[in-house]
Amino acid sequence: MPGRMAIITLAIVGFLLGYLYGAATDVYDWSIFYRGVPGLGWSSGMGATQALTHFVRFYAATSLAWDTFRAVGNTLMVLLLGPPVVAAMARFRARFSLVVEPVVATTSSQPQIATRV
């Protein structure tokens, strides 16, 4: 069974990735559809600070609420479904791992390899 700390770590990562995914997909809308909108959209020749300020305004106005639902949903899904999924994956890894160990003493001229499953 996975440790509590591993599930909490996965939940935190899911929460952060909910926002990161939303911001990454918003870059397209911001740079194409909102191009030239004063104070909000992207314009060619902008400095990095001004572009970041415009993007933060755009993100807060259009996507922050939606991405909050995504981040909270990710966290709840990991907390509810994470333990059984991680436990199943650990059983799968243990069951299907293959360790190949060479046999040191051989009596024939053919090299032999012992496998342990």
- The domain locations on the chain are 4-116
Question: 22 pairs with which residues across the strands?
Answer: none
CA distance 54 to 42: 7
Per-residue DSSP letters for 14-29?
A: HHHHHHHHHHHHHHHH
Confidence band, pLDDT 50/70/90 cuts, at residue 1 = low
The pTM for the full model equals 0.68
Residue listed under structure tokens 């333990």: 83
Contact 66, 7 (CB under 8 A): no
Residue 69: pLDDT over 70 = yes
CA distance 22 to 33: 16
